[in-house]
């Protein structure tokens, strides 16, 4: 029941990310987090247990702004509900990743990465992905190539959104067995696991197909299939209104 939201724009995207997380609260979760790329180029991460409101308090008490970011609500699978297990997960300062799904071969990959000198601070399968991506970046891959190669080593179901402080021009996303949608704007673009997260900022969406990997930039989106071949996907217009997704007077969506 995890939720992903991300944005890249020429404005501060933190309010967009926080609103997107709140709009996905109906999915159920135990922790939330956000990574935002500051003007200095550094990635600033906030994570908290419990409601998105707890995360919002952390964010609001800071003066952080940024024009690129990814965020997540987590339902514990690997590792107990704890701040150390909340997304986004980072490998040093090189890369941040949010992830829906389960990586079935995470133990094998973890053992290999431990031998290569990486240290783990969580029990999650997602931190394995972060270190795997960092290793490929350190080997000279760019962000897109790192995600493409890493995804070919993952077994299981996943939707990934990846950001790097060294690359302020794109978010790279991919999916296999877990949904991910790209929202299209003017001079800004967005990603989410649920269109409801993005309704305030766009009504134009591309639904990624199985194995797709995409570069999401301010001025456009480029999509490739799992073999790395350039493809085009249909742009769809959403007619869903906020009234459809708002809980209104009801305590939760099941009651509505």
What does the pLDDT look like over 34-77, one tens digit per residue?
999 999 999 999 999 888 999 999 999 998 999 999 999 976 66
pLDDT at position 125 is 87
pLDDT at position 250 is 45
Lowest mean pLDDT among 22-26, 107-111, 165-169, 243-247: 243-247
Lowest mean pLDDT among 43-47, 113-117, 208-212, 251-255: 251-255
Q: Does residue 253 belong to any structural domain of this protein?
A: no
pLDDT at position 2 is 82
Q: Does residue 255 belong to any structural domain of this protein?
A: no
CA proximity to 11, closest of 61, 59, 63, 65: 65
Band the pLDDT of 254: cuts 50, 70, 90. very low
Residue 83 pLDDT exceeds 80 = no
Q: Does residue 256 belong to any structural domain of this protein?
A: no
The pTM score is 0.92
Band the pLDDT of 251: cuts 50, 70, 90. very low
DSSP string, the chain: --EEEEEE-SS--HHHHHHHHHHTGGG--SEEEEEEE-TTS-EEEEEEES-HHHHHHHHHTS----SEEEEEEE--SSS-S-GGGSSPEEETTTEEEEEEEEETTHHHHHHHHHHTT----SS-SHHHHHHHHHHHHHTT--HHHHHHHHHTT--EEEEEEEEETTEEEEEEEEEEBS--EEEE-SS-EEEESSGGGGTTT-SEEEEPPTT-EEEEETTEEEEE-TTS-EE---EEE----HHHH--TTSSSTTT-
Band the pLDDT of 80: cuts 50, 70, 90. low
Q: What is the mean pLDDT of the chain?
A: 90
If you count them, how many residues does the chain have?
A: 256
Residue 220 pLDDT exceeds 70 = yes
pLDDT at position 109 is 96
Per the structure, the count of domains in the chain is 1
Q: Does residue 252 belong to any structural domain of this protein?
A: no
Q: Does residue 232 belong to any structural domain of this protein?
A: yes
Lowest mean pLDDT among 72-86, 106-120, 133-147: 72-86
Q: What is the pLDDT of residues 101-125, one digit of tens each?
A: 999 999 999 999 999 999 999 988 8
Residue 247 pLDDT exceeds 60 = no
Residue 248 pLDDT exceeds 70 = no
137 is in which domain, residue-wise?
3-245
Q: Does residue 166 belong to any structural domain of this protein?
A: yes
Q: What is the pLDDT of residues 181-204, one digit of tens each?
A: 999 999 999 999 999 999 999 999
The CATH number covering residue 106 comes to 3.60.20.10
Q: Does residue 254 belong to any structural domain of this protein?
A: no
Q: Does residue 127 belong to any structural domain of this protein?
A: yes
């Amino acid at each position: 029941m995890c939720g992903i939201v991300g944005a890249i724009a020429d404005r501060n995207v933190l309010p967009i990310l926080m609103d997107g997380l709140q709009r996905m609260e109906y999915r159920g979760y135990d922790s939330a987090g956000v990574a935002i790329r500051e003007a200095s180029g550094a990635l600033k991460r906030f994570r908290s247990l419990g409601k998105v409101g707890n995360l919002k308090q952390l964010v609001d008490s800071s003066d952080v702004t940024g024009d690129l970011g990814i965020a997540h609500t987590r339902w514990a699978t690997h590792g107990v509900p704890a701040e150390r297990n909340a997304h986004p997960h980072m490998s040093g300062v090189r890369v941040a990743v949010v992830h829906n799904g389960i990586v079935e071969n995470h133990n094998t990959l973890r053992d290999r990465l431990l031998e290569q000198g990486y240290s783990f601070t969580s029990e999650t399968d997602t931190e394995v992905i972060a270190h795997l991506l960092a290793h490929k970046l350190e080997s000279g891959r760019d962000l897109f190539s790192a995600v493409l190669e890493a995804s070919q080593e993952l077994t299981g179901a996943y939707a990934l959104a990846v950001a790097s402080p060294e690359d302020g021009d794109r978010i790279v996303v991919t999916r296999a067995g877990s949904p991910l949608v790209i929202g299209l704007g003017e001079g800004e673009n967005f990603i989410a696991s649920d269109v409801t997260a993005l309704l305030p900022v766009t009504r134009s969406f591309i639904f990624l197909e199985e194995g797709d990997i995409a570069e999401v930039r301010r001025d456009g989106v480029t999509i490739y299939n799992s073999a790395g071949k350039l493809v085009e996907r249909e742009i769809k217009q959403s007619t869903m209104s906020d009234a459809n997704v708002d809980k209104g007077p009801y305590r939760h969506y099941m009651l509505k």
